[in-house]
Structure 1
Amino acid sequence: MKTGAEAGPADRPPYDPELVAVLDAMLPNGAVSMTLDAIEGARSRSALPDMEEMLSGRTVSHRTVAVARAGAPDLILSVLSSTAAPVSATVPAVYYMHSGGMILGHRLMGLDSCLRWIEELGVTVVSVEYRLAPEDPYPAALNDCRDGYLWMHAHARELGIDTTRTVVAGKSAGAGLAAGLALQLRDDGHPAPIGQLLCYPMLDDRDASASCRQFEGAVVWDRQSNRVGWEAYLGDRRGSAEVPVYAAPGRAEDLSGLPPAYIEAGSAEVFRDEDVAYASGLWAAGVQAELHVWPGAFHSFDSFAPHAELSRAAENDRVAWLRRTVGPTLP
C-alpha cells in the first residue's frame, strides 16, 4: 500500500527516501490542503517561541522594536545580533521575511537558519512582523516589509550595521516578499540590497506551471493550498492581468538592475518551475543568480527535516553564498 508521502501522479518526481520517512510520520493519512476556514486553527498552532529558551547557550542577543507609523499599525521588528562580534564593528545585515503562504506565521518563525548566520558570519538579522491576509491583503505585507527595511537603513548607526552590505532574505512567502521588495526598491530609487536570498520563493499567482499540476494534492503546501494563499492575498485579482509585479515577482518582465540572487527549490514541490523560471529571467537580464534544485525535496523540507542530508547541504550552501556576498565579520 502506498503511504501518504508516496501517493501521487506517476509523472511526479519522487521524494528523497530520507524525507519520505519524515512525511509519513508527519502526515500518516496523506496530504491536507489549506482552506480559508482552516487559517485560524493553523495560526493558533504557531505561537511565538520563548526567545530566552531559543537563545540559551548561543552568542546571540535579541530585542524587539516597535516602529510608529502614520496611518498604519506600529511595525514590530526583531533585531538579533552576535554577542561575539567586536563592540566597535560595523557588521552586515540580513533583512528577513518569514514563511507562511501570506496567511500564516510570525517574525520569529524559521529563525534557526538566521541564528547560524549570526553565529558563523557575525551578521545582524532584522526580522519583520508583516500583516497577514486575508484580513490585510496586498499591499499591506509588502508595505510593512518596505517600511521595516527603510527603518533599518535609517537606524543603521544605532544598529551597528553596514548599509553597503545588506541582504534581503526569506523563505516561501517571505522569499516572494523579498523578491517583490527588491523590485520595488529598484524602481523607487531606495537603497538597494547587495543580494537576495530566496529559499523556495512564492512568486507567481497564475497557477500554470507543470510543477503546479504535478503537486495537486501533494504534501505540506500543494496546489490547492497555494491557490488559497494567493486568493487571500490578491482577492479576485488572482490570475488576472491586474496583478502588480511587486505582488507576484514571477510576472516581472524587467529584471535588470536587481541584486544578485540565491534561489532554491525542491524538485518535488509546487514552486519548482516558477523559481527556475525566475533564475532564468535574472540571467537573461544580466543579473547573477545561483540556483539550487534539491532532488526529491518537498516544500520547506529543511524546516520539517532539519537533520536530513539535503537540509544540511542546503543550509551549508546558503551560508557559503552569504559569506561570499557580505563577507565575514567575526575573526
Structure 2
Amino acid sequence: MTVNEMPIIWISLGVVSLIASTDQIAPSNPMGLLAAALTVAAIGALAWAVIAAVRSRSVPMWALDVALPDGWRTSTDSPSVGRVVRGALLPFIPDRRGLAKVEHHRYGPDRRHRLQVFRRRDASAGVPILIHFHGGRFRGGDAGRDSLPLMRSLARRGWVCVSATYRLGDAGAFPASVVDAKRVLAWTRDHAHALGVDPTRVVVAGSSAGAHLAMFVALTPGQPSYQPGFESADVSVSAAVGLYGYYGPRTSEPISSPAQHATAAAPPIFVLHGDHDSIVPVDWARGFAQQMQRVSHHPVAYAELPGAQHTFDMFSSVRAEAVAVAVERFSNWAVGAGRVLTKGPEPVTD
C-alpha cells in the first residue's frame, strides 16, 4: 500500500537489479530476458506514479476551492519546490527541523489512554490544536504512528498537535473508543494552559478507523451518553478531517455510524480518500461526503486523490506533502472564519 508513495526508491532498486543481472540478459536466456522486461515494465509504471503524484498535488486545494467561500485563501497554497523534491527523493526520512522533543501524557486510567504532543521548540501560547486518532481497524495501531508528516508540518507552522490512542478490540467495542476520543478532547481543554493552546480552536482528525472516531466526535457534541463521568465537558470542535476513513456502522445498529448523527449544525469537514484504496472503497467515502454535503450548513470538502492507496501519508511523499498543505490551510480557515461563515443548505446531487 505504500509502494506508490515512494516510487523513486523502487525505481532505483529496479535499475540496480537490471545492472546486476546484465550478464543474464541474452537471446540464449529467455527467462533472463523475461525478467528484464518485467523489471523495465515495473520501472515504467513506477515512473508514471511519480508523474501522477506530482500532477495531482493540486487536487486537495482544488477541493477546498470548490467547498469554501470565495476569498478563503490567505497565503501560498502549494508545496514548495523543496518539499516536492524531498517528497519524491527522500519520503522515508522524517523532517523534524524546528520541532521539540515529543511529549508523552496520559489522559485516563486505562493503559491505552496515552497521547503524544508535537510542537515547535519556540512554540507560542494560545495557538490552535489538532487532535489526531490513528487507524488499525479498531484492533491495532498506536499514538504517533499515522499521519506524522501532517502533524510535523502543522507543528512546524505553530500548531500544537496531539496523537492519541484508545482502547482496542473487545475493550474498545462501540461506544468505548468513542468515549475515549471524547475524553481526549476533554483532557486537552482541561490542560489547555499547560499545553499552550487555545481551547476554542480545536480541529479533530483521524486516519482510517481514526477518521471514524474523528467524525463521530465532531457530529455528537453535547450527547452525555458518550461522555460517562464527564457529561458537562465541552467536546465541540471547530472542524474535522478524515483521511482514508471508514465511516460506516461498527455494529448492527446504524447509530454506530457517524453519518447517522449528521445535522445542519455539523462543523466544517474535509474528507480525503485515494481512488485506488483497496482497504476502504472510495465509493464509501464519497457517499459519506455527499451525505454530509446534503445535510450540513457548513462547508464539506471532498478530495479524491488520483492513484492514492490506503495510508497514503505514511511517508513524507509528494502526495502526503500536498495533503499536509491543504489540511493546514483548511484548519487555519476553520479556526478563524470557519465557525461563523456558513453556506446555504443547497443540496448536492449524487
Same fold (TM over 0.5): yes
Q: Determine the C-alpha separation between the residues in 2 that align with 1:20 and 1:130.
A: 38
Alignment gaps of 5+ in structure 1: 7-13, 23-52, 206-233
Cα gap change, 1:16/1:65 in structure 2, threshold over 3 Å: closer, same or farther?
same
Q: Does 1:60 align with 2:71?
A: no
CA distance in 1: counterparts of 2:113 and 2:144, whole angstroms: 14
Q: CA deviation digits over 1:66-124, x for unaligned, max 9?
A: 2344xx557212122222233xx21101111012221221011022210111002x111
Shift of residue 195, structure 1, vs aligned partner: 0.6
CA distance in 2, matches of 1:119, 1:55: 10
Q: In structure 1, what residue type is equivalent to 2:119?
A: S
Whole-Å separation in 1 of the counterparts to 2:273 and 2:258: 16
The answer as to 2:91 corresponding to 1:80 is: no
> 1:264, 1:292 within 8 Å by CA — same for their partners in 2?
yes
CA deviation profile, 1:258-294 (whole Å, cap 9, x unmatched): 1101111111223412222222222212231111001
CA distance in 2, matches of 1:271, 1:65: 35
Is residue 322 from structure 1 mapped to residue 322 from structure 2 by the alignment? no
Counterpart of 1:202?
A: 246
TM-score (norm 2): 0.62
- Of the candidates 178, 190, 193, which is equivalent to residue 154 of structure 1? 190
Q: Return the alpha-carbon distance in structure 2 between the equivalents of residues 321 and 149 of structure 1.
A: 20
Aligned runs of 1:114-125 on 2, under 5 Å? 114-120=151-157, 122-125=158-161
The match for 1:192 among 236, 244, 247 is 236
- Decide whether the 8 Å contact of 2:107 with 2:114 is kept in 1: yes
Q: In structure 2, what is the Cα distance between the partners aligned to 1:146 and 1:194?
A: 14
CA distance in 2 between counterparts of 1:253 and 1:141 reads: 17
Measured after TM superposition, the shift of residue 58 of structure 1 is 3.2
Asked if the contact 1:15/1:297 (under 8 Å) is kept, the reply is: no
Q: How many residues align?
A: 245
Relative to structure 1, the CA distance from residue 172 to residue 79 in structure 2 (aligned partners, 3 Å threshold; closer, same or farther) is same
In the aligned structure 1, how far is the partner of 2:129 from the partner of 2:121?
A: 15
Q: Report the AA paired with residue 294 of structure 2.
A: A
Whether the 8 Å CA contact 1:102–1:132 is kept in 2: the answer is yes
CA offsets 1:228-257 (integer angstroms, 9 cap, x no match): xxxxxx5xx4xx3x242xx3213x163321
Q: Please say if residues 186 and 258 of structure 1, whose CA atoms lie closer than 8 Å, have aligned partners that are also in contact.
A: no
Deviation at 1:135, TM superposition (A): 5.0
Aligned equivalents of 1:54 and 1:300: distance in 2? 16
1:202/1:191 Cα in 2 relative to 1: closer, same or farther (>3 Å)? same
Query: Residues 1-331 of structure 1 correspond to what in structure 2 (within 5 A)?
Result: 17-18=48-49, 57-69=97-109, 72-73=110-111, 75-86=113-124, 89-110=125-146, 111-120=148-157, 122-134=158-170, 136-188=172-224, 190-205=234-249, 234=250, 237=251, 240=252, 242-244=253-255, 247-250=256-259, 252=260, 254-269=262-277, 270-285=280-295, 286-303=297-314, 306-308=316-318, 310-326=319-335
**How many Å separate the matches in 2 of 1:15 and 1:113?**
24
Q: Percent identity?
A: 25
Give the C-alpha shift of residue 136 in structure 1: 3.4
TM-score when normalising by structure 1: 0.65
Alpha-carbon distance, 1:193 to partner:
0.7
CA deviation string 1:208-244 (max 9, x = no partner): xxxxxxxxxxxxxxxxxxxxxxxxxx5xx4xx3x242
Q: How many angstroms apart in 2 are the aligned matches of 1:109 and 1:307? A: 16
Structure 1 or 2: larger strand share?
1
Q: Root-mean-square deviation (CA), in Å?
A: 3.2
Deviation at 1:173, TM superposition (A): 0.9
Gaps in structure 2 of 5+ consecutive residues: 1-33, 54-92, 225-231, 337-350
**Cα 1:19/1:176, change in 2 over 3 Å:** farther
Q: Structure 1 pair 182/158, CA: closer, same or farther in 2 (3 Å)?
A: same
CA contact (8 A) 1:261 1:289 kept: yes
